[in-house]
Amino acid sequence: MKIPFSQLAEMVHGTLVQGGDVESSSVVIDSREVKPGAAFFAIKGERLDGHQFLAQALQTAAGAVVSRVPDDVPPGKGIVKVDDTTEALQQLAKSIRDSSDFLVIGITGSAGKTTTKEMIATVVATERRTHKSWGNFNNQIGAPLCLDNVPDGAEVVVSEMGMNHAGEIAQIAGLMRPHVGVYTNIAPVHIEFFGTIEGIAAAKRELLENVVPGGTIIINNDNEHVVRISRDFEGRRVTYAVEHEAEYRATNIRERGLLGTRFTLEAEGAARDFDLALPGRHNLDNLLAAIATARAIGISWESIERGVRDVKPAYHRGVIVEWRGATIYDDTYNSNPYALQRTLELMTQAETRGRRIAVIGDMLELGEQELQFHRDAGRGIPKAVDVVLGVGKRTRALLEGAREAGFDENALHYFGNAQDAGAFLMDEIRDGDLVLIKGSRGVGLDKIVTMLEGAP
């Protein structure tokens, strides 16, 4: 939404220095993301101070919010001075929230927040103009940025809320005052800061404590900690589950490995069949939360069914590509030993007419024991995998582990880079094959996918 810097100064309780009639149309905190019309907030962090990049930002931005005004501010730029730019960012979010009538959906949990947010936004957007937080921006800076950039005409805002310490969700949810609070799960994540799972649950409770009076919370009935903290919520409670009774419950679940999940949803006195393109039980949980949320705000079943069909994995994070009769599973965004093992297990569950080919790239940032991690990963490759390609110097250890586990030498292939592996695959892949391509982003296995897609 467009805000003159004179109004912006009032909204953040700051002092207008110059350019009161200059309009801002977006808010950014990274000078590399500045576009014309942006208001650059010079945030001072633990490692970097945005004021260092102020001159660079003002080359393009409409103006800036600062705590230190430089001597050489360019003419024609809007400048607002505040005591603390992070607090100003949050105050702007509060001002926008207080003066707007869009519906706010806040999501928290120990895992699955980002995927659930994306699913909710996809399904709700079938009927209402929807704005969502980007990436996994869910802290005291990321969540306010979502509100600070709500476009004109938005009817629903969907944002996740994360934490490392008690009080952080209270601060975020206090700014956003959600109409709907969504809980994915509560598990021992960041437990070093809380001591016990009960401490984590108490901190997660801060979301429901900040839902607007008469609001709604969406509850995972399969998670005992979520159930416990929500028992005395005075507003509307909507439940979803797989294992326990719930208002929205998945039954007749048919796992298709990497290719997704088919299930029947029992809800509102009827049974409806769905296909979810994303694999794994955790993604089924996330989708149930999204469907329950959508129904809670009045989205029709017809639109929900259309929205579920539109749910797709994020860029290079499990995208399915059909190629010459084979199925390519592009999971090249990132990798680690746990994620690799889990993905390989899902690969073995997937139905396929041909072979299972695993293209595995180096896993980076594993420290001094990286070769041992790769060797262990090789030993753990399921025997249902027919062909293994290692890409990158660390995967020599992975292939050695596969040999030790009994893989035939003819099934193992090593390549120093993605281009050579891609050239090999061009001739190797056959009709009906299922090909997994997974590695750390720095290895660049996405180049293989690009090569295959660009082949005549």
What residue spans define the domains of the chain?
3-83, 100-310, 319-454
pLDDT for 126 equals 98
Q: Say if pTM beats, i.e. exceeds, 0.85.
A: no
Domains 3-83 and 319-454 share a fold: no
Q: Per residue in 322-341, pLDDT tens? A: 999 999 999 998 888 988 99
Residues in contact with 395: Cβ distance below 8 Å, sequence separation at least 6, in sequence order: 360, 361, 362, 374, 414
**What is the SS3 assignment for 431-450?**
CCCEEEEECCHHHCCHHHHH
Question: Do residues 392 and 374 touch, judged by C-beta distance below 8 A?
Answer: no
Residues in contact with 80: Cβ distance below 8 Å, sequence separation at least 6, in sequence order: 5, 8, 9, 12, 14, 15, 16, 17, 63, 64, 65, 66, 88
Rounded distance between C-alpha atoms, residue 381 and residue 364, angstroms:
18
pLDDT for 289 equals 98
Question: Do residues 170 and 161 touch, judged by C-beta distance below 8 A?
Answer: no
pLDDT for 193 equals 67
Nearest by Cα to 154 from 101, 108, 201, 205 = 101
Per-residue b/e over 133-148, b at no fewer than 16 CB within 10 Å? beeebbbbbbbbbbbb
Does the 3-83 domain belong in CATH 3.40.1390.10? yes
pLDDT < 50 stretches in the chain: none
- Residue count of the chain, please give it: 456
Rounded distance between C-alpha atoms, residue 108 and residue 7, angstroms:
32
Packing angle, helices 301-310 and 281-296, rounded to 10: 150
The label of the residue with tokens 């984590």 reads: 200
What CATH code is assigned to 100-310? 3.40.1190.10
Residues in contact with 61: Cβ distance below 8 Å, sequence separation at least 6, in sequence order: 28, 34, 35, 36, 37, 38, 39, 40, 77
User: What is the phi/psi pair of residue 440, to 5°?
Assistant: -65, 150
Question: Do residues 424 and 433 touch, judged by C-beta distance below 8 A?
Answer: no
Q: Per residue in 4-54, pLDDT tens? A: 999 999 999 999 999 999 999 999 999 999 999 999 999 998 888 999 999
pLDDT for 191 equals 52
Nearest by Cα to 448 from 332, 340, 298 = 332
Token representation of residue 153: 């005409």
CATH class for the region spanning 319-454:
alpha beta
Q: What angle do CA 446, 448, 454 make, to 5 degrees?
A: 105
Nearest by Cα to 5 from 58, 45, 49, 64 = 64
Rounded distance between C-alpha atoms, residue 32 and residue 54, angstroms:
11
pLDDT for 280 equals 84
Q: Per residue in 365-381, pLDDT tens? A: 888 899 999 999 999 99
